[in-house]
Amino acid sequence: MAMTTETKDADAGASGTSGASGARAHRRRAARKPKRTGRRLTAALLLICLLATGGGLLIATSQLQDGADPNNKALTDAGATGNVAGDVGNAVARIFTYTPDTLDTTRQDAKELLRGEAAEQYDRLFARLAPRVAEQQISLTTNVIRTGVVDLTDTTAHVLLFLDQTSERKGGKPSTAAAQLSVTAEQHGGTWQITKIKAR
Amino acid sequence: MRLAFRLLLVLSFAFTGFAGWTYAQARSDDDLSFAKTRDAALNAARTHIATLNSMDGERIGDGVRRWRAASTGALEAEIGRNGTKSAKVLAQEGTTARGTVTDAALTDLDARAGTATAIATVRVEVEPRGGDAKTDRKRFQADLERTKSGWKLASLGAVAVGRR
């Protein structure tokens, strides 16, 4: 009995001491734990909110830009649009206007105003045309009656032109025909040069 | 682990800041909103000019309805007035036309007033009932107006030779 009591006491004592210190430690941990979980939860929520807001803003931005080409300066930059329309219009009028006497000038102009594919195309046309122009005394006058800039960046442009072309043979009656051209132009050293011509 | 989390948090702040900045830029960009208006008007011009150059010879009623849906103001009224009359002629002829806009540009745009002018080149395949198809090339100028249901054609006319 005594032994058991003793043991019990000892047990109780032992468990008492360990219980007391354990409880203190537990209280400390218990006090720290909700604080830390709370902070972690807040941080995680903050992170989610930040990512969601950022993502939402990016989606909203792409929706704002949707359906618009922000790099195309046609009409948004009125000055540049007017310049390219004027330059390309003048170029087209000059290279498709000639008389038997001014054919050489026209060809010189074309060398300055055309480049690449358009230059090759024009050379082929000119080679076919030049003998007939001299022989039949043909002259051609091209008037640009409408110009629309479809696409425009700092260095490239796509322009649609409506033309009236009047041709006349010596001694004949002049006849006027409609022509439409889609022209691609590139800017080199401050001047626009035509690189592609497509009849529409 | 905690360092990684903090880094993540800092990066998220940076990301959100960047997203906010790009949004603010896009929002306050007048050119962008003008460009958007321009592209909407040009797209509408292309679609509607093709529509008004197209007609299914066997379904004239549908065709005229599409013409009216593509137009507004004076042009819509004109189609409404002449619709039934020309529909009869078209139904008798049974000609089918398919218009394709090969190129188009706006020559003028007033985003505030909601008006624009467009030019377009069109290839029209015309197929008479039981006949051979032939292809025409045409050029048009159109006035557009912004309506509640988008940009519509207020006028459409061929740009004739010799008329500046």
Given an 8 Å threshold on Cβ–Cβ distance, is B12 in contact with A178? Answer: no
For A147, nearest residue in chain B (alpha carbons): B107
Question: What is the spatial distance between Cα A144 and Cα A120, in angstroms, rounded to a whole number?
Answer: 23
Q: Where are the domains of chain A?
A: 1-66, 78-199
**Nearest alpha carbon to residue A96 among A114, A81, A84, A83:** A114
ipTM: 0.83
Mean pLDDT, chain B, rounded, equals 89
Residue-wise pLDDT tens digits, B37-91: 999 999 999 999 999 999 988 888 889 899 999 999 999 998 888 776 777 777 7
Q: For residue B95, what is the DSSP state?
A: -
Residue-wise pLDDT tens digits, B148-163: 999 999 999 999 997 6
Mean pLDDT in residue range A82-96? 95
* Reported pTM: 0.77
* Residue B19 with chain A: CB contacts under 8 Å: 53-58, 61
Q: How far is CA B84 from CA A175, B64, B89, B90, in A?
A: 38, 9, 9, 10
Domains of chain B are 34-158 (3.10.450.50)
Instruction: Give the burial class of B153: count Cβ atoms within 10 A of its Cβ; 0-12 exposed, 13-18 middle, 19 or more buried.
Output: buried
Chain B interface disruption, residue of A41, A51, A64, most B CBs within 10 A:
A64
Q: Which two tokens stand for residue B122?
A: 């069109």
CATH of range A78-199; options 2.40.110.10, 3.50.50.60, 3.10.450.230, 3.40.50.880: 3.10.450.230
Given an 8 Å threshold on Cβ–Cβ distance, is B12 in contact with A69? Answer: no
Residue-wise pLDDT tens digits, A96-154: 999 999 999 999 999 999 999 999 999 999 899 889 998 999 999 999 999 999 999 99
Tell me what percent of the residues of chain A surpass a pLDDT of 70: 82
Is residue A57 classed as helix, strand or coil in its secondary structure? helix
Q: For residue B159, what is the DSSP state?
A: -
Residue-wise pLDDT tens digits, A33-73: 667 788 888 888 888 999 999 999 888 888 777 766 778 99
Label residue A183 by pLDDT band (50, 70, 90): very high
For A36, nearest residue in chain B (alpha carbons): B2
- Phi (first) and psi of residue B162, to 5 degrees: 80, 5
Instruction: Give the burial class of A32: count Cβ atoms within 10 A of its Cβ; 0-12 exposed, 13-18 middle, 19 or more buried.
Output: exposed
| Beta bridge pairs of residue A159 | A149, A183
Label residue B99 by pLDDT band (50, 70, 90): very high
Label residue A5 by pLDDT band (50, 70, 90): very low
Mean pLDDT in residue range A17-41? 64
Given an 8 Å threshold on Cβ–Cβ distance, is A50 in contact with B161? Answer: no
